[in-house]
Structure 1
């Protein structure tokens, strides 16, 4: 193989995927046995590839997340749908509509209970204007649900 490559004057240029596979597979071969292998690259090239792969991996993980956070996919879809359905609206009108939606959604009150034994969260209900009567009724509904559940449990 070395003679064939020398005769053509071309050396293979493996891409990063090939280099990763070669580096990982040769990492499994004992060092004494690795010296007797005929490789298309020099023996020092494989550890260098491995170091480069690790350096790239950890560099990506430690890179600071600069700039604006990514827009959530649901919001992006909503904005595009509003723009498509309302071609006369500009970005200011769409922004105003989204701000109105966020304000309306933030005033909803949710009553939830956590079961400590199972760490299960039960959402009892939601309302725009919670009152004492509403809270009492939600508690009664929960007790009736628990009573029905206890009747079906076999000890």
Structure 2
């Protein structure tokens, strides 16, 4: 399941409604870390995101931590995304705006895949995103867009 998530992340398919998705590995030796550029456009507006992503198997907990002695921790994988800070965009020579499209901000977004112990997988999706929309759009409308995106991703 994790190989599928990693492949979908590289093609942009984990981002329903994404019109442009560009992804590039940061370092061949640091497998699983990449930069992404995404553009979304719908009736709410157009926004883009410059992001750093990480897709890895999560290390098991320390021996003295959960789970109880004698039990093994479930295998777990994570795909996490966060926006690059404006200072990093500038230092990398990236524009503060793309033809007037404001950058949205992904505080954190991610997917975890965990072995459920019964030959199945538990999938969890979460997002904390600021779409940076115009002042005249009600907050509940913009928040609804984020909720729908998370549901479609799941």
Length-normalised TM-score, structure 2:
0.19
Indicate the structure whose relative CO is greater, using CA pairs within 8 Å and at least 6 residues apart: 2
Structure possessing the higher radius of gyration over alpha carbons: 1
- Which of the pair is proportionally richer in helix? 1
Length-normalised TM-score, structure 1:
0.19
